[in-house]
Amino acid sequence: MKRTIAIKLTFSKSQAQAFEELQKRFSAACNYVAQIAFEHKERNRVKLHHLTYYAIREKFPELGAQMACNAIAKVSSALRPLKKAKELLFKKGCSVHFDKRTYCLKGNSLSLFTLQKRVRLELEISSFHKNFLESGKAKEAELVQKGKRWFFHLVLEDLKNIRERIKAKKKERTRLHRWAFDELRMFVEYKAAAFGIKVLYVNPAYTSQTCSHCLCLGHRVKHRFFCSHCGSLQHSDLNASRNLLRLGESIGSPTGDVNRRHIAALSRR
């Protein structure tokens, strides 16, 4: 999930002038890209990049390489929702698109690209916005002018919600996994009772890691089991099933499987 927070900016007259100049040239570059996009009936960002990038660098050299890419991205983003190609016009006061290469946010310090040099601002971030900054990852941003005020609209990827959703999905998978085995157990018990067969339950610990021939711990890699002690090579499921069978046969016998202390805890239901 992505969220956008609007941070109010405070700066000097010279800094405001730098932003206005950037805004003017950026909107001109966007209009240039939009015109080419309309002529070629193109909305795809990659194809627009090939059509316009070098022309933008030549026509608007002061923007630099990354701001040229940002202008292409802004036009492509505006055209994407449209059902068919349409001629767009970006006003002189349009917002300026920033990415992680054209801005830097560290704590309360924000550095922004301008046509002359980077401008560094000290932000007054409210506790409300700090909660989002602490739980999310900063992505792209827009420099927006509203009247005489300027705002930095920062997009955040909400990592906390993503982690919570992943955790919830993991719990759901675990619940379904247990439910499937419980259903299988009840089905086996039902069928066994119908034919007069007794069902025994054993502790399965280490049955997939122990060699069914010599009872030594071996090596299991996916469906392959190998015992370095006796050289036995088997399918891991077959090896485990033989261990479970011997444990089942040992229930009720005078001597249990005492050499296997890790799985000696057997139970009957």
- The domain spans of the chain are 2-159, 187-263
DSSP SS3 for 90: coil
Distance CA 51, CA 34 (A): 11
Is residue 257 a contact partner of residue 246, using CB atoms and an 8 Å limit? Answer: yes
Give the pLDDT confidence score for residue 261 in this predicted structure.
44
Q: Report the chain (269 residues): mean pLDDT per 10 consecutive residues.
A: 88 92 96 94 93 96 96 93 82 91 93 94 86 85 92 85 66 70 80 84 87 92 90 92 87 54 41
Q: Which of 123, 126, 155 is nearest to 138 (CA)?
A: 155
| Angle, alpha carbons 57-29-72 (nearest 5°) | 80
Give the pLDDT confidence score for residue 69 in this predicted structure.
96
Q: φ, ψ for residue 176 (rounded to 5)? A: -65, -35
Give the pLDDT confidence score for residue 40 in this predicted structure.
92
Length of the chain measured in residues = 269
Distance CA 206, CA 90 (A): 68
Give the pLDDT confidence score for residue 127 in this predicted structure.
83
DSSP SS3 for 99: coil
The torsion angle over the Cα atoms of residues 151, 154, 160 and 165, rounded to 10 degrees, is 120
Give the pLDDT confidence score for residue 226 in this predicted structure.
93
Give the pLDDT confidence score for residue 162 in this predicted structure.
58
Catalogue the E-assigned strands of 2-148.
2-9, 96-98, 103-106, 109-112, 119-122, 136-146
Tracing tokens 């071996």 back to the chain, one arrives at 218
pTM: 0.60
